[in-house]
Amino acid sequence: QVQLVESGGGLVQPGGSLRLSCAASGFTVSNYAMSWYRQAPGKERELVAGITRTGGSTNYADSVKGRFTISRDNAKNMVYLQMNSLKLEDTAVYYCNAQFLTSRYWGQGTQVTVSP
């Protein structure tokens, strides 16, 4: 069974940090481009960060550039999102995504809440 399980979300104060993890099973992460999406209340799901299969290239939404870092450990079948200098507007459910051609897999999401 193909599964992506996110963890590491929680409640943090503005300016704080969180590290999200995405554990994959049922497929080999190294064959897929990986990304993190998020969806805030009342808003559409948006791409936060992406990373190529080899990890040689990354891309970020302008709103998180310089604060978030996506990385992958293919040997562990894991993907990470390091989030620093968190802002109130970062509050959302964060989803892990795997993509290869037309195939896409999604995790259930992990809640990140930034509040004083």
In DSSP notation, 43-83 reads: S--EEEEEE-TTSS-EEE-TTTTTTEEEEEEGGGTEEEEEE
For residue 70, the surrounding DSSP H or E stretch is strand 68-73
From first to last of the 116 residues of the chain, give the pLDDT tens digit.
889 999 999 999 999 999 999 999 998 889 999 999 999 999 999 999 999 998 889 999 999 999 999 999 999 999 999 999 999 999 999 999 999 989 999 999 999 999 99
Q: What's the pLDDT at 51?
A: 97
Taking the C-alpha atoms of residue 30 and residue 27, their distance in angstroms, rounded to an integer, is: 9
